Chain A
Amino acid sequence: MAFYSKNPRNIINNLKSKVGLWSLMKQSHGTCSYCSCLNTIHLHRFLPLTTLPQFTNPDSISHKKGHFPHFQRFQSTTTEKQIDSVPNGEHSQVLDFPGGKVVFSPEMRFLSESPSVYSQCYRVLDDTGQLISHSNFVPVSEEVAVKMYSNMVTLQTLDTIFYEAQRQGRISFYVTSIGEEAINIASAAALTSDDIVFPQYREPGVLLWRGFTLQEFANQCFGNKADYGKGRQMPIHYGSNKLNYFTVASTIATQIPHAVGAAYSLKMDKKDACAVTYFGDGGTSEGDFHAAMNFAAVTESPVIFICRNNGWAISTPTSDQFRSDGIAVRGQAYGVRSIRVDGNDALAMYSAVHSARHMAVNEHRPILIEAVTYRVGHHSTSDDSTKYRPANEIEWWRMARDPVTRFRKWIEINGWWGSEAESQLRSSIRSQLLHAIQIAERAEKPPVNDLFTDVYDNIPSNLREQEKLLKETINRHPKDYPADVPI
């Protein structure tokens, strides 16, 4: 296809370096798995002990379709020697194929379906909130850390109260993000407001961070007149043009190729921004995920794929979802740089997304982040997860592995937070939320003509006619229609 013919040299160099590394593994590392070694090299190379500028590749200006300079950072120097030692000429074991040069071997060897060692997971804070020694991370100021923590608490409280509101019959439906607060807030904190977000449905924290108010959340859930969605969607389908957060759709994984398209557009417009998309472990089984990853790599689009691997897709555990070693390993299959992160470690999430953004925007490349976590809540209010998983497992993750508590411990250690601030925050948020719900509940519903607008840019004549007919019918039989819907 077109792309190969354009960049033969880079493809050749690509393959050379990849293959060289592989034979290096075979020779000198024996049982060491392909994946984990590669991962180690990844980590050591792009998270240096000093901060950011170190890993900016000066050659990374977009228009050079140069994979080669970037791969250099990932090879050890022995690999290069390996390549050079491949003889050319009559004893050459290298042949040209359309994709590039391939080194042959008379030994039949299948690539294993699973690594002997699972790919490493990046984490910076341990379970007690202490910084792990020799950790690399992007530092956060007190202001940012406290804001992150407050948002995490707000998200947690928002979820609890809205869930209860659904149980009381005040809203029809709700989806919680309990257990995934760190993923939500820390990733949002590492992005800029120009970065375009394509969510699945378990990322309201990103919207919260960007400034969506509690009232705005409540309005959407109650589908009232002030809802930006004009009451057209179920609760939790938030969206905000202003905050660069694309309206949540119920379809799984469809947002992933959308994000790549938007990222490509950002690159074409030469904007200092990237696209970010979130999805769960289940979403990675959809065709859209694979097509999007492949496309992002081929088009060199500045997009960050954040997978919330929370162990469950409604009742389907990850063991029934895929047999690969999670999601991060798939990145390499598509030519996408990836990392596995402890999703409950806010500091690690922040660092990973921060670095990812830098690479995506400056090097025009996609990055895949697999954030491992646990879905503490039920899939939604239509689900009772105790039916398919043990209640004590849920409790353990809720208490012992709570990302909010973990981060709190860290900011307390730094002297940035205390128990008084804690109780003040929690009670303030709670009362704000209850107030917001009260107002949202009492507000008027959207008017009847909102049924017909926005199907097209301009309302077509047939819909205008139908609207007229509907209004006449309502006027003639007002008893048959709800009183709280304005005409």
Chain B
Amino acid sequence: MLAIARQRMLGQSFKKILPAVSVLRSYSSAAKQITVREALNSALDEEMSADPKVFLMGEEVGEYQGAYKITKGLLEKYGPERVLDTPITEAGFTGIGVGAAYYGLKPVVEFMTFNFSMQAIDHIINSAAKSNYMSAGQISVPIVFRGPNGAAAGVGAQHSQCYAAWYASCPGLKVLSPYNSEDARGLLKAAIRDPDPVVFLENELLYGESFPVSDEVLDSSFCLPIGKAKIEREGKDVTITAFSKMVGYALKAAEMLERDGIYAEVINLRSIRPLDRSTINTSVRKTNRLITVEEGFPQHGVGAEICASVVEESFSYLDAPVERIAGADVPMPYAANLERMAVPQVEDIVRAAKRACYRSVPLAATA
């Protein structure tokens, strides 16, 4: 009970602290702050302006300005031919987007959440991901599928699943997941410019969060490489990998761990497929301990793949078993207290890091 109350208080206070902390950590020049929403909107705007082949499709992207206002102002600026409000058929508009990509246009298809992409997953996998291979290079599919992924707040089981592991298992797709505004801008631009189909997993709760960005990031030619992870915070004692919202939690956990003398290295994966195995392994070879963090279900998750990769390539460097922090193995409950317990919290990461550093009893012993 007490723990939950404390969590709530901490959560609120951390929300206020975060922007200041990021400023201290980031660029020395007086940084402008933009929200992830603004970052995505500006990236779409710039890419549409630069290339007339780019166009948007999805439910409510036009007149409604986007279900989460990501596409605000774009219908007005580019007109209904380039910002398409679609009927309610994920399978339909995904298929149509893929057809347009086959022809040579560059559609950016929005799913209101990635949960709804399940209705269109045949087109994403069988028509987009595999086409270049099956046609032996004759059909390339320069399409981007984007939308919020993972848990939001109080939206229940059918609106909260994380699809990173699902899409990242498929060869032919690229899967990206940004954390902050810089990631959002750089990775979305890279995704739109990439000739392969890209699944772009955003996070609804991050849309409203502000992050500082340098002038370089705000430049319209800014782009981040696909397949490179970012070391958000350097450390020497334990490596924590995370993506999307969990990067924020991992950073907070690292703060807390520092007070106890544990210096954690936080890796923001940015790219789930291709996974930056080299950065992860280099970091593990330095720290000798690994915690993977994700919101999704534990079995066959992103953490499982990272763990296997590290065991294959850096086994002799590990001083402790790899631990995976993941969402609870249940469909997401609705009640706020249950929802909180079904998603990883900062404390879970802290405790796992301490176990990895042998500061507390290993989990297996308590089972």
Interface residues of A (CB under 8 A from B): 1-3, 5-6, 196, 198, 227-230, 232-233, 237, 239-241, 246-247, 249, 251, 254, 256-266, 268, 275, 287-288, 290-292, 294-295, 298-299, 450, 453-457, 460, 462
CB distance from B63 to the nearest CB of A (A): 4
- Closest A residue to B107 by beta carbon equals A261
24 contacts between A and B (CB under 8 A): A2-B63, A229-B134, A232-B133, A239-B135, A247-B135, A251-B126, A254-B127, A256-B95, A257-B92, A257-B93, A260-B96, A261-B101, A261-B107, A262-B103, A263-B99, A268-B105, A290-B89, A295-B96, A299-B84, A454-B135, A454-B137, A455-B171, A456-B132, A457-B140
A232 / chain B contacts, CB cutoff of 8 Å: 133-134, 136
- Closest A residue to B197 by beta carbon equals A456
Judging by beta carbons under 8 Å apart, are A258 and B174 in contact?
A: no
Q: A257-B98, A260-B99 are in contact. List 10 more A-B contacts (CB 8 A).
A: A228-B138, A229-B136, A230-B136, A237-B134, A249-B127, A265-B100, A265-B104, A268-B105, A292-B92, A456-B174
Q: Which of A196, A240, A249, A453 has the most CB of B within 10 A?
A: A249
Judging by beta carbons under 8 Å apart, are A295 and B139 in contact?
A: no
Judging by beta carbons under 8 Å apart, are B96 and A457 in contact?
A: no
B131 / chain A contacts, CB cutoff of 8 Å: 247, 249
Judging by beta carbons under 8 Å apart, are A254 and B87 in contact?
A: no
Q: Which of A2, A266, A292 has the most CB of B within 10 A?
A: A2
> Does B248 touch A at the CB level, under 8 Å?
no
Q: What number of B residues sit within 8 Å (CB to CB) of A?
A: 49
Judging by beta carbons under 8 Å apart, are A453 and B137 in contact?
A: yes
Judging by beta carbons under 8 Å apart, are B95 and A258 in contact?
A: yes
> Does B195 touch A at the CB level, under 8 Å?
yes
CB distance from B49 to the nearest CB of A (A): 16
Judging by beta carbons under 8 Å apart, are B102 and A291 in contact?
A: no
Judging by beta carbons under 8 Å apart, are A454 and B136 in contact?
A: yes
Judging by beta carbons under 8 Å apart, are A295 and B138 in contact?
A: no
> Does B274 touch A at the CB level, under 8 Å?
yes
Judging by beta carbons under 8 Å apart, are B135 and A229 in contact?
A: yes
Judging by beta carbons under 8 Å apart, are A456 and B122 in contact?
A: no
- Closest B residue to A231 by beta carbon equals B136
CB distance from B244 to the nearest CB of A (A): 23
**Residues 164-217 of B contacting A (Cβ, < 8 Å):** 171-172, 174, 194-196
Which of A251, A263, A455 lies in contact with B172, CB distance below 8 A? A455
> Does B260 touch A at the CB level, under 8 Å?
no
Judging by beta carbons under 8 Å apart, are B96 and A196 in contact?
A: no
> Does B360 touch A at the CB level, under 8 Å?
no
Q: Using A229-B135, A256-B95 as known contacts, say yes or no to A294 and B89 having CB atoms under 8 A apart.
A: yes
B303 / chain A contacts, CB cutoff of 8 Å: none
B81 / chain A contacts, CB cutoff of 8 Å: 268
> Does B123 touch A at the CB level, under 8 Å?
yes
> Does B66 touch A at the CB level, under 8 Å?
no
Q: How far is the CA of A254 from the CA of B141 in the complex (A)?
A: 15
A456 / chain B contacts, CB cutoff of 8 Å: 132, 172, 174, 196
Judging by beta carbons under 8 Å apart, are B126 and A291 in contact?
A: no
Which of B105, B134, B140, B274 lies in contact with A265, CB distance below 8 A? B105
Judging by beta carbons under 8 Å apart, are A288 and B139 in contact?
A: no
> Does B62 touch A at the CB level, under 8 Å?
yes
Judging by beta carbons under 8 Å apart, are B86 and A295 in contact?
A: yes
> Does B327 touch A at the CB level, under 8 Å?
no
- Closest B residue to A198 by beta carbon equals B99
B134 / chain A contacts, CB cutoff of 8 Å: 229, 232-233, 237, 247, 249
A240 / chain B contacts, CB cutoff of 8 Å: 138
> Does B328 touch A at the CB level, under 8 Å?
no
Judging by beta carbons under 8 Å apart, are B95 and A288 in contact?
A: yes
